[in-house]
């Protein structure tokens, strides 16, 4: 019996050796070959942008600028309401952007029912799509890392650089500090903007004072976000944001006279002391705060991302540095969206 077992073992070893020596390379077989291992495949960069009624041209310009300045594998998630998604899809498919990879996602505004306090001074800030950033894990599936961008931006650098932003362990997001740039300081002083928590939260309210956050703490701008979806879900960020939205409805905790950020304020609370920072050149903002204040041309050329946050948008009039925005704008094939210019 032992001799038979030994013979079978020898035969098995010989068969294995024969197969190794005489194996036919897969490239010579009639079979498909995967030339790239999963580790070598190009990583997909998900970028979330909203397409709101009346300003869809903004989303188009933002997408155009990103697509034109990178070789990265970008997947655009274009979020809209039911009434706008057909328009934005046709705009893309009938323009040079038809080559981009994109998904159109419908946002259901019913998730905000009872969570938004009406504000007559800045009604545009109450538009449902302003709160899309609160619900990123519910809208975007199968991505560990996501970039969220406001629509009133253009990107002059390679979006891969922004995606490569390092998030510290335990941080669900990275933002730009509002005190991080000398030129920003000059812009803030010149138009009387707020760049601290005092400009967004009502410190007369006990609930705000109980947070223990100094009113002079630098705020951050959530118009550009690099987010870690695993941490976001683990820390239940969406639930935390909704809690502060609900409390604001009941207690009026946000000051709208200066910051006006009904979407910014809950993020300032939830992410206080718990976020990583984005390279300052990847979020040059405040271009929309005044039609008179301008950045230097040299500074704008160095900027990787420009943000027209504020009332004065580059597709309207008056506004500043519209040439930098308009070079990426693609006219609406349907003719519904038009630029507002002095001679129009």
Count up the domains in the chain and report the number.
1
Listed range (83-87, 105-109, 115-119, 153-157) with the worst mean pLDDT: 115-119
Q: Is residue 245 part of a domain?
A: no
Q: Is residue 112 part of a domain?
A: yes
Q: 226 lies in which domain range? A: 45-176+218-238+273-327
At 255 the pLDDT is 60
- Cα 217 from Cα 194, distance rounded (Å): 11
Q: Is residue 153 part of a domain?
A: yes
| Tokens at 204, concatenated | 């007369």
* Mean pLDDT value across the chain: 86
Q: State mean pLDDT over 60-83.
A: 98
Q: Is residue 80 part of a domain?
A: yes
Q: Is residue 74 part of a domain?
A: yes
Q: Which of the given ranges, 120-124, 250-254, 311-315, has the highest pLDDT on average?
A: 311-315
At 209 the pLDDT is 97
Question: What's the CATH code of the domain at 69?
Answer: 3.90.550.10
At 125 the pLDDT is 61
Q: Which residue is associated with the tokens 């001799």?
A: 3
At 278 the pLDDT is 96
pLDDT of 185 strictly over 90: no
CB-hemisphere CA count at 13 Å for 136?
A: 29
Percent of the chain at pLDDT above 90? 69
Q: Is residue 146 part of a domain?
A: yes
pTM: 0.85
- Cα 181 from Cα 199, distance rounded (Å): 18
Q: State mean pLDDT over 124-136.
A: 88
Q: Give the contacts of 181 (CB within 8 A, at least 6 positions apart).
A: 280, 284
- Cα 159 from Cα 254, distance rounded (Å): 33
Q: What confidence tens digit (pLDDT) does each residue in 18-48 have?
A: 554 444 333 333 333 343 444 445 699 999 9
Q: Is residue 5 part of a domain?
A: no
Q: Is residue 187 part of a domain?
A: no
Q: What confidence tens digit (pLDDT) does each residue in 255-293 have?
A: 655 555 688 999 999 999 999 999 999 999 889 988 988
Q: What confidence tens digit (pLDDT) does each residue in 192-224 have?
A: 456 889 888 999 999 999 999 999 999 999 999
Q: State mean pLDDT over 232-258.
A: 89
């Amino acid at each position: 019996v032992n001799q038979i077992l030994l013979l079978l073992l020898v035969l098995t070893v010989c068969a294995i050796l024969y197969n190794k020596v005489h194996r036919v390379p897969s490239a010579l077989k009639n079979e498909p070959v995967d030339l790239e291992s999963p580790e070598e495949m190009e990583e997909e960069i998900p970028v979330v942008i909203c397409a709101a009624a009346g300003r869809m041209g903004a989303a188009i310009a933002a997408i155009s600028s990103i697509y034109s300045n990178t070789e990265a594998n970008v997947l655009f998630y274009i979020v809209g309401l039911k009434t706008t998604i057909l328009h934005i899809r046709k705009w893309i498919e009938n323009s040079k952007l038809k080559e981009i990879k994109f998904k159109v996602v419908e946002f259901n505004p019913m998730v905000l029912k009872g969570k938004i306090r009406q504000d007559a001074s800045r009604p545009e800030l109450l538009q449902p799509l302003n709160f899309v950033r609160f619900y990123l894990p519910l809208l975007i599936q199968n991505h560990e890392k996501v970039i969220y961008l406001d629509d009133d931006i253009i990107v002059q650098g390679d979006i891969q650089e922004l995606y490569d932003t390092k998030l510290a362990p335990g941080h669900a997001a990275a933002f730009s500090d509002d005190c991080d740039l000398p030129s920003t300081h000059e812009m803030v002083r010149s138009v009387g903007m707020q760049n601290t928590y005092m400009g967004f939260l009502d410190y007369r309210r006990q609930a705000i004072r109980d947070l223990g956050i100094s009113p002079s703490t630098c705020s951050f701008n959530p118009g550009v976000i690099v987010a870690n979806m695993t941490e976001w879900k683990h820390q239940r960020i969406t639930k935390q944001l909704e809690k502060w939205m609900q409390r604001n409805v009941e207690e009026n905790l946000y000051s709208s006279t200066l910051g006006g950020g009904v979407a910014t304020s809950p993020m300032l609370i939830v992410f206080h002391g718990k976020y990583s920072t984005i390279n300052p050149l990847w979020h040059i903002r405040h271009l929309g705060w005044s039609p008179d204040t301008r950045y230097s041309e040299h500074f704008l050329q160095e900027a990787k991302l420009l943000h027209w946050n504020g009332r004065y948008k580059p597709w309207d009039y008056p506004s500043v540095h519209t040439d930098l925005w308009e070079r990426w704008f693609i006219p609406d094939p349907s003719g519904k969206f038009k630029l507002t210019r002095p001679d129009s």
